[in-house]
Amino acid sequence: MSGDHHDDALISRRVRRLETLLEERGVLSGGALDEAIDAFLAQSSPANGARVVARAWVDPSFKSRLLADGTAAVQELGYMEGSYQRLRVVENTESVHNVIVCTLCSCYPLRLLGPSPSWYKSESYRSRVVREPRAVLAEFGLALPAGTEIAVWDSSAETRYMVLPRRPADTESFPEEELAARVTRNALIGTAAV
Whether residue 106 lies in the annotated active site: yes
Find out whether 61 is annotated in a ligand binding site: no
Residue type, 190: G
Q: What is the DSSP letter of 115?
A: S
In whole angstroms, what is the distance from residue 178 CA to residue 140 CA?
24
CA distances to 21, 73, 166, 168, 176 from 173, in Å: 55, 24, 16, 12, 9
Q: What's the chain's length in residues?
A: 194
**Catalytic residue chosen out of the listed positions 29, 64, 105, 118:** 105
Find out whether 102 is annotated in a ligand binding site: yes
Whether residue 12 lies in the annotated active site: no
Find out whether 105 is annotated in a ligand binding site: yes
Whether residue 64 lies in the annotated active site: no
Q: What is the DSSP letter of 165?
A: P
Whether residue 105 lies in the annotated active site: yes
Find out whether 83 is annotated in a ligand binding site: no
Known binding residues: 102, 105-107
Which residues belong to the annotated binding site for Fe(3+)? 102, 105-107
Catalytic site positions: 102, 105-107
